[in-house]
Structure 1
Amino acid sequence: MIDFKNIDYGATGNEEIIQNVRFILSTIIGSCVLDVNLGVSPDVVDSPIQLTQAKITSEIIEKIEAYEPRVTVESVTFSADPLNGRLIPQVKVVNKENGEVWTA
């Protein structure tokens, strides 16, 4: 989750890109008034874990490549928190310009 107290509104370069990716991942689709398609859908809640992983992976790749074209998604992996019923994606992106790799 993004800590909005620490958003750098003047971010540029690599900091801007990774901040944008994290914002896309932390936004629920429909919650951004000026762009209701921005974000990830919560519709997979309570679905079987394999189905959830497949749907979220597909959506994450689609949204990041649509809204932050300066990166390519290299991989999406998941860690689970079964006690709290959470599936936590880790997204690895590659900067198209310089090849740097980041995890969001």
Structure 2
Amino acid sequence: MKLDTATDYGLDIYHKALNIFADNWDHEPVCGVSVTLSDLQPMSSYQLDLFGRVEQKKKLSTAVDAIYNKYGKTALLHGSSLLLGGKWINRAGKIGGHYK
């Protein structure tokens, strides 16, 4: 599925992938899910979007990247990662499921 507008904002891609998953999930257990991106282009220029808040998204993405670079991948995480089934903190110290 192709996005409606160009983006370099990760949450736009996440939400589109989540919608695709929700539309196709048959409520059976799932072993794994992957997302593949293609037709990637630099975001040096973009179409202005009256409601998309492109500049706010760019600033937020830059701030999040700066925090990750300074404090590491576990500096910011979703609250659900702190639940019993959360795996982000454990996986953040690994590459491809294996310790560095």
**TM-score after normalising by structure 2:** 0.28
Q: Which has the higher helix share?
A: 2
Q: Which has the higher strand share?
A: 1
Bigger RCO of structures 1 and 2 (CA < 8 A, at least 6 apart): 2
Bigger Cα Rg: 2
**TM-score after normalising by structure 1:** 0.28
